[in-house]
Each structure stands twice: as structure tokens, then as C-alpha cells.
């Protein structure tokens, strides 16, 4: 096995002749200074027409620029044969449909049984070396699309897309009650709850957070809502839905206890049938860092949310 991953290649067009290789790396290939510094230390990290050169050289039309990253592995993650669903994979990206109850990355108290353990075992079984680099996270009980970068270049590019707001993340939720409007926005800053640091809350002094929502189906017992995140705060959808009086069905952390006895009983009945928050990352769209193609990944609604949706349709008439 080669010491390096397959190279990422850039061909110099006529209009860029005479530019410094450093400029090409930073402005055309969008490689961070940190990664460039790392590539410079390796024998084949930065190549011009197959030759290792200084990044201060000037390029010519038709020159072939290649960067090669050394192969990595996650030595701190124990490989475990944990099944998971793959939505897409190439030499740069792995996109999975995360199951409910699965922690993404080992943390204190969750050293094994995570998605990372399963992915590392999967790569190992195929004789491949990659470091587990999730580009974003999903809560333990949230299902759906999750993207893993296979090298630092890809991770950097997708992270920058997220900061720029060009990664489109959409969710489906089943909630108690219904929002007042058919569609709208929840613009509420979020920060830790001072009384319970594990919880988040909307507070004027919090970090900016914006969630867009649209009602997709309404019943007397609850609603199905499509959501789009314009920011990525911890528990953002769960906090914002509770903030507007529509907590997610099954969400034990952000549950509201209604004053009305009939409504309280309805909440209890639905929550008892949904063992987790009814939230699913249904769709994610990004630009592939290497091919430049806009790609959209879909994850079907999981069985437990389908069952809850069927229950709402059958026992709680549409409004």
C-alpha cells in the first residue's frame, strides 16, 4: 500500500501562467496554510509536473500541480463490527445514515459502540487506512445523514462550506401541537442553561441561531414539520421547537408539561410510544471538495418515526 492517498490534481490554465505556486495552492486549490505547512514536510506532498519544488516557484500554462496527503488511521479508536448504512462513498467521502441511539464519536463514557468504532472496523476489513473525521455531529438519538471526510483537505473544504452557509441541511420532525404559522422562522440566540449546563435555552445573550420551518402535515395530536438549519447550535431544533411551544415527540430533555389535563395526557400517550426525540436528518447538500459537483444525499424516514406518523394519521384526525 502506498504511503500516500491518491493525489488531488490541478492543471494550470493559460490565464494563470506566471503565478506563484503558493498562490495556486491557497487561492485556486483553497488549501489552508496549516495543511500546506504539513504537505511541505513530506517527500511527495507538493509536486509540480512530478517534481518536488518550492512553493515560491512560478507556474506555466499546462503545468500539473499535485498534492498528496500521507495515509492516516485512527489508532485511538477500537475497531468493532458494528453495522451501519452507507448512503455514498468514494475515496474522499463517506456518507452514512446514522441509526438512533448511536453516538458518533467515542467520548467519556462512550469508548465503544459508536459509529466511529464501526467505520474504523469497516475500513480495516477492506484493507484501507483513513482517520475518522466527521464533518458535523448528530445527537445520539437523532437519525439520518452524516458526512465523514477521509482526509484533512476534504474536511477543511466542507467545514468552510458550513461556515459560509452553503451546506444545506434539512430535517424532519414530529412535534406536539402545531406552530401558529404554516411556515416561518425561529430566530432565537442559544446558550447553555445556567441551571443545567447539559441543556440549552433561548436567551438574549446567546449565540445567534436561526431555524426555518414548514408544516407538512397536521393532526389533532401533533404535526410533521420540515426544517432547515441556518446555523448549527447544539440541540438547536429541539430548543427552538420547544421555544415556540411545539416540543418534539419523545424528547425527554426539552419536554413541556401542559397545564391542561387533557393535553398533558395526550403528550404522555405520544411520548410513551416514541422512545427518543422524533427528529431525522433527512437531506444534506454540499459541493464535493474534489470534483466540484453539487451533491445531495437523502435518508429515508426511520421505522420508529413512520410508526408514530401512522399512529397520528390513524388515531388523531387531520386538521
Give the Å distances, CA to CA, from 209 to 191, 232, 269. Answer: 10, 7, 31
- 151 in Cβ contact with 31 (< 8 Å): no
HEC letters along 45-63: CEEECCEECCCCCECCCCC
Q: For the chain, what's the residue count?
A: 319
Distance of CA 185 to the CA centre of its chain: 21
Reported as type and span, the H/E element at residue 240 is helix 236-243
Three-state secondary structure call for residue 269: helix
Strand partners, 176: 222
- Put residue 16 in one of left, alpha, beta given phi > 0 → left and psi -120 to 50 → alpha: alpha
**Which residues make beta-bridge pairs with 46?**
67
Containing H/E element for 170?
strand 168-176
CA–CA gap between residue 67 and residue 318 (Å, rounded): 57
Distance (Å, whole) CA 203 – CA 300 = 34
Which set of grid coordinates corresponds to residue 20?
506563484
Asked if residues 217 and 200 have their Cβ atoms less than 8 Å apart, the reply is: no
Cα(first)–Cα(last) distance of the chain, in Å? 61
The residues with which 226 forms a beta bridge, in sequence order, are: 172, 214
| Spatial contact of 75 and 96, defined as CB atoms under 8 Å apart | no
> What residues are labeled active site?
139
Amino acid at each position: 500500500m502506498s504511503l500516500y492517498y491518491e493525489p488531488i490534481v490541478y492543471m494550470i490554465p493559460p490565464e494563470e501562467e506566471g503565478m506563484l505556486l503558493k498562490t495556486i495552492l491557497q487561492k485556486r486549490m483553497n488549501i489552508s496554510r496549516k495543511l500546506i505547512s504539513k504537505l511541505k514536510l513530506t517527500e511527495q506532498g507538493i509536486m509540480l509536473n512530478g517534481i518536488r519544488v518550492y512553493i515560491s516557484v512560478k507556474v506555466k500554462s499546462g503545468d500539473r500541480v499535485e498534492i498528496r496527503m500521507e495515509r492516516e488511521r485512527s489508532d485511538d479508536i477500537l475497531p468493532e463490527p458494528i453495522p451501519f448504512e452507507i448512503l455514498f462513498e468514494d475515496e474522499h467521502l463517506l456518507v452514512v445514515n446514522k441509526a438512533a441511539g448511536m453516538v458518533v464519536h467515542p467520548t467519556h463514557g462512550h469508548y465503544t459502540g459508536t459509529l466511529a468504532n464501526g467505520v474504523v472496523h469497516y475500513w480495516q476489513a477492506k484493507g484501507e487506512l483513513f482517520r475518522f473525521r466527521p464533518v458535523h455531529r448528530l445527537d445520539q438519538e437523532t437519525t439520518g445523514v452524516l458526512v465523514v471526510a477521509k482526509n484533512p483537505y476534504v474536511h477543511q473544504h466542507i467545514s468552510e462550506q458550513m461556515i459560509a452557509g452553503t451546506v444545506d441541511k434539512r430535517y424532519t420532525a414530529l412535534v406536539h401541537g402545531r406552530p401558529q404559522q404554516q411556515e416561518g422562522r425561529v430566530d432565537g440566540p442559544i446558550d447553555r442553561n445556567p441551571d443545567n449546563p447539559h441543556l440549552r435555552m433561548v436567551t438574549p445573550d446567546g449565540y445567534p441561531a436561526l431555524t426555518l420551518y414548514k408544516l407538512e402535515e397536521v393532526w389533532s395530536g401533533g404535526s410533521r414539520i420540515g426544517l432547515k438549519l441556518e446555523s448549527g447550535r447544539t440541540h438547536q431544533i429541539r430548543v427552538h421547537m420547544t421555544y415556540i411551544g411545539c416540543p418534539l415527540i419523545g424528547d425527554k430533555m426539552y419536554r413541556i408539561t401542559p397545564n391542561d389535563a387533557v393535553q398533558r395526557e395526550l403528550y404522555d400517550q405520544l411520548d410513551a410510544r416514541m422512545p427518543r426525540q422524533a427528529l431525522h436528518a433527512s437531506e444534506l447538500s454540499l459541493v464535493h471538495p474534489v470534483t466540484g459537483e453539487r451533491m445531495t444525499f437523502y435518508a429515508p424516514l426511520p421505522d420508529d418515526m413512520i410508526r408514530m406518523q401512522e399512529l397520528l394519521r390513524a388515531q388523531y384526525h387531520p386538521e
